[in-house]
Amino acid sequence: MKTMAVATGNPHKLQEFSEILAPLGWRVASIRDWLPMVPEPDETEPDFAGNAALKCRFAVAVLREARLASLPDAVAADDSGLAVNVLGGAPGVYSARFAEIAGHGIGDADNRRELVRRLRLCGLHEGFTTLAAFACAIHVQDLSQGLQHHSLAWCEGRVGLMERGSGGFGYDSLFFPLVNAGQVCDKTFAELPSDTKHALSHRGKALCLLAQKL
Protein backbone atom coordinates (compact mmCIF):
# COMPACT_ATOMS: atom_id res chain seq x y z
CA MET A 1 0.00 0.00 0.00
CA LYS A 2 1.08 3.57 -0.60
CA THR A 3 1.26 5.87 2.40
CA MET A 4 -0.43 9.26 2.67
CA ALA A 5 0.51 11.69 5.44
CA VAL A 6 -2.38 14.01 6.24
CA ALA A 7 -1.48 17.39 7.69
CA THR A 8 -3.80 17.14 10.67
CA GLY A 9 -3.88 15.78 14.18
CA ASN A 10 -7.69 15.45 14.10
CA PRO A 11 -8.48 11.74 14.59
CA HIS A 12 -11.95 12.12 13.06
CA LYS A 13 -10.56 13.50 9.81
CA LEU A 14 -7.92 10.79 9.70
CA GLN A 15 -10.58 8.13 10.19
CA GLU A 16 -12.66 9.50 7.29
CA PHE A 17 -9.62 9.71 5.00
CA SER A 18 -8.67 6.14 5.89
CA GLU A 19 -12.17 4.67 5.50
CA ILE A 20 -12.46 6.07 1.97
CA LEU A 21 -8.89 5.67 0.69
CA ALA A 22 -7.85 2.36 2.31
CA PRO A 23 -9.91 0.26 -0.15
CA LEU A 24 -8.05 2.06 -2.94
CA GLY A 25 -4.64 1.01 -1.64
CA TRP A 26 -3.67 3.92 0.62
CA ARG A 27 -2.53 3.72 4.23
CA VAL A 28 -3.45 7.00 5.89
CA ALA A 29 -1.50 8.44 8.82
CA SER A 30 -1.00 11.80 10.49
CA ILE A 31 1.96 13.96 9.52
CA ARG A 32 2.84 13.76 13.22
CA ASP A 33 3.83 10.12 12.77
CA TRP A 34 6.88 11.52 10.96
CA LEU A 35 7.20 14.86 12.73
CA PRO A 36 5.61 14.73 16.21
CA MET A 37 6.24 18.42 16.91
CA VAL A 38 5.32 19.86 13.52
CA PRO A 39 3.63 23.26 13.95
CA GLU A 40 0.42 24.26 12.20
CA PRO A 41 0.68 27.20 9.80
CA ASP A 42 -1.60 30.20 10.07
CA GLU A 43 -4.56 29.77 7.72
CA THR A 44 -4.34 33.11 5.97
CA GLU A 45 -6.09 32.36 2.68
CA PRO A 46 -9.62 33.68 2.02
CA ASP A 47 -11.08 30.37 0.85
CA PHE A 48 -11.02 26.64 1.57
CA ALA A 49 -8.94 25.70 -1.48
CA GLY A 50 -6.27 28.26 -0.66
CA ASN A 51 -5.94 27.10 2.94
CA ALA A 52 -5.78 23.42 1.93
CA ALA A 53 -2.96 24.17 -0.51
CA LEU A 54 -1.15 26.33 2.06
CA LYS A 55 -1.25 23.58 4.70
CA CYS A 56 -0.15 20.88 2.26
CA ARG A 57 2.81 22.84 0.91
CA PHE A 58 3.89 23.80 4.41
CA ALA A 59 3.86 20.15 5.50
CA VAL A 60 5.84 19.09 2.41
CA ALA A 61 8.46 21.78 3.05
CA VAL A 62 8.87 20.78 6.71
CA LEU A 63 9.17 17.10 5.80
CA ARG A 64 11.89 17.79 3.26
CA GLU A 65 13.80 20.07 5.61
CA ALA A 66 13.83 17.31 8.24
CA ARG A 67 15.81 15.03 5.88
CA LEU A 68 14.14 11.88 7.21
CA ALA A 69 15.28 8.44 6.12
CA SER A 70 11.76 7.47 5.10
CA LEU A 71 9.01 9.65 3.68
CA PRO A 72 5.35 9.04 2.83
CA ASP A 73 4.38 8.62 -0.82
CA ALA A 74 2.10 11.63 -0.66
CA VAL A 75 1.09 14.48 1.63
CA ALA A 76 -2.47 15.76 1.90
CA ALA A 77 -4.26 18.58 3.68
CA ASP A 78 -7.86 19.58 3.80
CA ASP A 79 -9.76 22.68 4.79
CA SER A 80 -13.44 22.42 5.46
CA GLY A 81 -16.24 24.32 7.07
CA LEU A 82 -19.89 25.22 7.30
CA ALA A 83 -21.54 28.12 5.47
CA VAL A 84 -24.97 29.24 6.71
CA ASN A 85 -27.01 31.40 4.37
CA VAL A 86 -28.76 33.50 7.01
CA LEU A 87 -25.34 34.28 8.56
CA GLY A 88 -23.93 35.54 5.27
CA GLY A 89 -21.84 32.40 4.76
CA ALA A 90 -20.40 32.30 8.28
CA PRO A 91 -18.65 30.60 9.92
CA GLY A 92 -17.00 29.62 6.60
CA VAL A 93 -13.20 29.40 6.72
CA TYR A 94 -13.39 30.29 10.42
CA SER A 95 -15.53 27.25 11.28
CA ALA A 96 -12.88 25.64 13.51
CA ARG A 97 -12.35 28.91 15.43
CA PHE A 98 -15.87 30.33 15.39
CA ALA A 99 -16.35 30.51 19.15
CA GLU A 100 -12.74 31.45 19.84
CA ILE A 101 -12.89 34.48 17.53
CA ALA A 102 -16.14 35.55 19.22
CA GLY A 103 -14.55 35.17 22.66
CA HIS A 104 -16.98 32.43 23.64
CA GLY A 105 -14.72 29.42 24.15
CA ILE A 106 -12.74 26.99 22.03
CA GLY A 107 -13.37 23.63 20.37
CA ASP A 108 -16.24 21.80 18.69
CA ALA A 109 -18.82 22.06 21.48
CA ASP A 110 -18.29 25.80 21.91
CA ASN A 111 -18.41 26.29 18.15
CA ARG A 112 -21.80 24.60 18.02
CA ARG A 113 -23.08 26.72 20.89
CA GLU A 114 -21.89 29.86 19.13
CA LEU A 115 -23.66 28.80 15.93
CA VAL A 116 -26.90 28.15 17.82
CA ARG A 117 -26.58 31.53 19.57
CA ARG A 118 -26.17 33.33 16.23
CA LEU A 119 -29.10 31.46 14.70
CA ARG A 120 -31.36 32.40 17.60
CA LEU A 121 -30.36 36.05 17.17
CA CYS A 122 -31.45 35.73 13.53
CA GLY A 123 -34.88 34.58 14.67
CA LEU A 124 -34.63 30.82 14.18
CA HIS A 125 -36.93 28.92 16.53
CA GLU A 126 -36.96 25.42 17.98
CA GLY A 127 -38.11 22.79 15.50
CA PHE A 128 -37.11 24.84 12.46
CA THR A 129 -34.01 24.66 10.24
CA THR A 130 -32.31 27.03 7.83
CA LEU A 131 -30.24 26.61 4.66
CA ALA A 132 -26.55 25.75 5.01
CA ALA A 133 -23.80 23.85 3.22
CA PHE A 134 -20.57 22.11 4.15
CA ALA A 135 -17.49 22.55 1.96
CA CYS A 136 -14.27 20.54 1.79
CA ALA A 137 -11.14 21.32 -0.22
CA ILE A 138 -8.30 18.79 -0.35
CA HIS A 139 -4.80 19.33 -1.73
CA VAL A 140 -2.36 16.45 -2.27
CA GLN A 141 1.26 16.40 -3.38
CA ASP A 142 2.90 13.21 -4.65
CA LEU A 143 6.42 13.30 -3.23
CA SER A 144 7.96 10.90 -5.71
CA GLN A 145 6.68 12.51 -8.90
CA GLY A 146 6.05 16.04 -7.64
CA LEU A 147 2.49 16.02 -8.98
CA GLN A 148 -0.16 18.05 -7.18
CA HIS A 149 -3.88 17.30 -7.13
CA HIS A 150 -6.79 19.15 -5.61
CA SER A 151 -10.52 18.70 -5.20
CA LEU A 152 -13.41 20.75 -3.86
CA ALA A 153 -16.88 19.49 -2.98
CA TRP A 154 -19.99 20.78 -1.25
CA CYS A 155 -22.85 19.16 0.63
CA GLU A 156 -26.02 21.24 0.83
CA GLY A 157 -28.48 20.88 3.66
CA ARG A 158 -30.00 22.65 6.62
CA VAL A 159 -28.98 23.37 10.22
CA GLY A 160 -31.15 23.46 13.32
CA LEU A 161 -30.85 24.45 16.96
CA MET A 162 -30.99 21.05 18.68
CA GLU A 163 -28.07 18.64 18.56
CA ARG A 164 -28.90 15.10 17.47
CA GLY A 165 -26.65 12.04 17.35
CA SER A 166 -23.36 11.04 18.93
CA GLY A 167 -21.29 10.31 15.82
CA GLY A 168 -19.24 12.63 13.66
CA PHE A 169 -17.59 15.81 14.87
CA GLY A 170 -17.64 19.56 14.37
CA TYR A 171 -21.12 20.74 13.40
CA ASP A 172 -22.34 17.28 12.33
CA SER A 173 -24.96 16.98 15.07
CA LEU A 174 -26.73 20.15 13.83
CA PHE A 175 -26.61 19.46 10.07
CA PHE A 176 -29.25 17.66 7.98
CA PRO A 177 -27.88 16.87 4.49
CA LEU A 178 -29.86 16.93 1.28
CA VAL A 179 -30.41 13.53 -0.30
CA ASN A 180 -32.05 12.49 -3.59
CA ALA A 181 -34.10 15.08 -5.46
CA GLY A 182 -33.32 17.78 -2.95
CA GLN A 183 -35.08 16.06 -0.07
CA VAL A 184 -33.72 16.86 3.37
CA CYS A 185 -32.55 13.81 5.32
CA ASP A 186 -34.42 13.21 8.58
CA LYS A 187 -31.13 12.42 10.33
CA THR A 188 -28.11 14.60 11.06
CA PHE A 189 -24.62 13.63 9.98
CA ALA A 190 -24.02 12.59 13.60
CA GLU A 191 -26.88 10.06 13.38
CA LEU A 192 -25.88 8.44 10.07
CA PRO A 193 -23.63 5.36 9.72
CA SER A 194 -20.20 6.12 8.26
CA ASP A 195 -20.81 4.64 4.80
CA THR A 196 -24.03 6.64 4.35
CA LYS A 197 -22.39 9.83 5.57
CA HIS A 198 -19.40 9.39 3.21
CA ALA A 199 -21.74 9.02 0.22
CA LEU A 200 -23.38 12.36 1.04
CA SER A 201 -20.74 14.43 2.78
CA HIS A 202 -18.47 17.17 1.49
CA ARG A 203 -15.34 15.28 2.57
CA GLY A 204 -16.57 12.00 1.13
CA LYS A 205 -17.27 13.64 -2.23
CA ALA A 206 -13.95 15.51 -2.25
CA LEU A 207 -12.03 12.33 -1.42
CA CYS A 208 -13.80 10.38 -4.17
CA LEU A 209 -12.89 13.08 -6.69
CA LEU A 210 -9.32 12.97 -5.43
CA ALA A 211 -9.17 9.17 -5.57
CA GLN A 212 -9.98 9.29 -9.29
CA LYS A 213 -6.99 11.57 -9.87
CA LEU A 214 -4.69 9.45 -7.71
User: What is the rounded CA–CA span in Å between residue 3 and residue 22?
Assistant: 10
**CB-CB contact of 76 with 27 (8 Å):** no
| Amino acid type, 191 | E
- Structural domain including 42 reads 2-213
The DSSP H or E segment spanning 206 is helix 202-213
Residue 186 is a catalytic residue: no
Write the pLDDT tens digit of every residue in 73-116.
Answer: 999 999 999 999 999 999 999 999 999 999 999 999 999 999 99
Q: Which residue among the candidates 33, 42, 47, 79 is catalytic per the annotation? A: 79
Q: Inform me whether the pLDDT recorded for 181 exceeds 80.
A: no
| Full DSSP string of 128-154 | --EEEEEEEEEEEEETTT--EEEEEEE
Up-side HSE of residue 110: CA atoms within 13 Å toward CB?
12
Average pLDDT of the residues in 28-54: 94
User: What is the rounded CA–CA span in Å between residue 97 and residue 37?
Assistant: 21
Write the pLDDT tens digit of every residue in 108-147.
Answer: 999 999 999 999 999 999 999 999 999 999 999 999 888 9
Is the pTM of the predicted complex or chain greater than 0.85?
yes
Q: What is the count of structural domains for the chain?
A: 1
- Long-range interactions of 193-196: CB distance < 8 A, separation 24+: 194/16, 194/19, 194/167
Which CATH number fits the domain that encloses residue 9? Answer: 3.90.950.10
Q: Inform me whether the pLDDT recorded for 32 exceeds 90.
A: yes
